[in-house]
Structure 1
């Protein structure tokens, strides 16, 4: 039996390729997919450097792949199809999936996804081969001719950033948006999403001068801050916490106008304190939750394919898959993407 390589987290700053038995079809609704381009999520950096979850486990939850094999009950996919592999595992038919909330699918444990052990062992999207359960519900076709490198982050970050702002900007294209940055790329992806939706009133704040410079280049009004203050001055209809910092979350919450909305996509491994009385008095709506990729990825893919949404300014690489451990230990600015012929 030929071994399959899997990029594996072994502990803080310990990540390496390991040989594992190859995956195979288990159910008639499964598909096997070979990743063609794998992207590094901001969370992946944290998992590699801090290792807050119990190792070892396969890393990676953003990739575009090629279908290799399908189960007997799969009729809408065939070998050779190129697909986005959403980060979450979902059945597509339960009550939550039917409400366009596949990240909360009731057929699998909470947090079931590729690249972490939190909701079971599903492998990672750097693996040479990935088993996708409920494949017809769990894979999103790539538009013909679209470069997999451009779409790799549609498994999570790019669609999640788009969903953070699209409801508010669809309802009111002139809504004033504040993005509280701090993560390597999610806040900047949010700026890209705002631009793709035609927003001209985006304010980006961050403690990192390189991110502030990049946000300005992407079309935002960008401000370098020394720390996350209680409130950013202005009247913001929508604020987005992209800081992954408790004080950044508080800043985003308190900066929303009365009756406004704050969306947080930060992942916290401890419980952040919330300024409840201040939120109560202002009536701010707080929105959080896991990414729900499958229903909304097609819309984002169409925007990329049309040129309205261009993630290339934030892509680093592409690098070869063999370089992944070294790149993850000393990541560049931007979102690293890996692609190459496999061994």
Structure 2
């Protein structure tokens, strides 16, 4: 397909982005062309938009960013047999090499040569994008476009929560951005006994409550360690899902976890974080897990099943819809924390 398309371009090494008309990308023999139906704004996109320290060290403008989407396959390469025109798809956003030691042992999510769609390559804040057919996930035709577009970040939440036992456990979710809010719903579906959500934003704590949090703590107004101690009768939580990326909150997470508990960290602190390894990790005998991406494609299967069964309902955390042209409004809401998930429609 030839012609021009609308796209949100990270156009310079600074704050913001702009709408441009760019060439519709051309597919290679193992790729497909996808017409984007819905795309959602991720915290990573906010890092890139605001041009923080992490994005300055990682991305190279100008390019089209964005990596969460759903869409329809409209063109397939000559070697593609796994999907066909008309298929309704989302995508695993990690482009892996397939040849490093990690890939050769099935650990594709930690491929040493990973590239990420919309970070290292052109992304989906556009009318069309091309992807390798092997990265596509076929969606049920009855799934709404907006829900299908947030399966990728839901996969982050699923991977974080389910990286250890959850049933009957007390779970703390620190940081109630969209993925943290989804983690609350996943923990509920997995049978957590209590789910304690912590944030500084009452709006997002309210969304966490709707998704199943049994207690919410605004760490600006309450002492989180004292409150967690009271809620757990002095024992602490069994599982910490760290989604905030803030040094103080991360330290609090290690202090509130009980002996023998688990801390799973998905967040991306922009600077090194100081923690008390001796007292909060070694003497407690806890397990610390770094979480990146999703288990390919195990996590996608879990996400699809949780949604299809109705055990996780994402409706409460999808709060805003805008045309692609109004992307700045969506990013403003994300920066202010006055939203759940923001969906853009090309």
TM-score (norm 1): 0.87
2:324 maps to which of 314, 317, 321: 321
Instruction: Report the Cα distance in structure 2 between the residues aligned to 1:56 and 1:230, rounded to whole angstroms.
Output: 44
Q: Return the offset for 1:60.
A: 0.7
Instruction: Report the Cα distance in structure 1 between the residues aligned to 2:62 and 2:246, rounded to whole angstroms.
Output: 26
Equivalent in the alignment of 1:338? 344
1:224 maps to which of 211, 218, 242: 218
Once the two structures are superposed, the pairs formed by residues 54-69 of structure 1 within 5 Å of their partners are: 54=56, 55-69=61-75
1:166 maps to which of 147, 152, 162: 162
Instruction: Report the Cα distance in structure 1 between the residues aligned to 2:24 and 2:205, rounded to whole angstroms.
Output: 43
Tell me, yes or no, if the aligned pair for 2:97 and 2:111 is still in contact at 8 Å: yes
Instruction: Report the Cα distance in structure 2 between the residues aligned to 1:82 and 1:64, rounded to whole angstroms.
Output: 7
Instruction: Report the Cα distance in structure 2 between the residues aligned to 1:71 and 1:310, rounded to whole angstroms.
Output: 35
Q: Return the offset for 1:74.
A: 1.5
Q: Does residue 180 of structure 2 align to residue 180 of structure 1? A: no
3-state secondary structure, aligned to 1:189: helix
Tell me, yes or no, if the aligned pair for 2:185 and 2:211 is still in contact at 8 Å: yes
Tell me, yes or no, if the aligned pair for 1:239 and 1:261 is still in contact at 8 Å: yes
Q: Return the offset for 1:15.
A: 1.2
Label 1:92 to 1:49 Cα distance change in 2 as closer, same or farther (>3 A): same
Tell me, yes or no, if the aligned pair for 1:204 and 1:212 is still in contact at 8 Å: yes
Aligned residues: 326
Label 1:190 to 1:100 Cα distance change in 2 as closer, same or farther (>3 A): farther
3-state secondary structure, aligned to 1:305: helix
Label 1:208 to 1:329 Cα distance change in 2 as closer, same or farther (>3 A): closer
CA-based RMSD: 2.3
TM-score (norm 2): 0.86
Equivalent in the alignment of 2:22? 20
| 1:151-179 C-alpha deviation (Å, 9 max, x unpaired) | 21112x2111111112434xx51011111
Q: Does residue 173 of structure 2 align to residue 192 of structure 1? A: no
Relative to structure 2, which stretch is displaced further, 55-64 or 73-82?
Answer: 55-64
Tell me, yes or no, if the aligned pair for 2:197 and 2:216 is still in contact at 8 Å: yes
Instruction: Give unmatched runs, 5+ long, in structure 2.
Output: none
Q: Does residue 338 of structure 2 align to residue 299 of structure 1? A: no
